[in-house]
Amino acid sequence: MTKRRIIPYNPKLKEVARKLRKQGILSEVLLWNELKGKKLGYDFHRQKPINDYVVDFYCAELDLVIEIDGDWHSDKFDDD
């Protein structure tokens, strides 16, 4: 078994990630309903802060990031 590399977590984006999860656009909610609870056999995280980004979905086991909506929310919370 190969050791997984550590993905840098950015705690400064924790609150942004929380807001994005609550906001939940339809396409993200629909995909999340299929990914959560290891329905596909893998553990996914939703709105995961990584480096300077909040990715829509992340699976560490597959080293996979899924971005549904591009960068439309990249500056959405700058004025908060």
Question: Could you tell me which residue, 67 or 10, shows the higher pLDDT?
Answer: 67
Q: Sign of dihedral through CA atoms 16, 72, 34, 40?
A: negative
- How confident is the model over 32-78, as pLDDT tens digits? 999 999 999 999 999 999 999 999 999 999 999 999 875 555 555 55
Is the distance from CB of 46 to CB of 30 less than 8 angstroms?
no
**Token reading at 12:** 């400064």
Residue 70's pLDDT is: 52
d(CA 16, CA 59): 20
Query: How would residue 23 be classed by pLDDT, with cut points 50, 70 and 90?
Result: confident
Domain boundaries, the chain: 11-66
Residue 25's pLDDT is: 86
Instruction: Determine the 3-state secondary structure of 55 from DSSP.
Output: strand
Whether the per-residue pLDDT at 80 is higher than 60: the answer is: no
d(CA 76, CA 23): 11
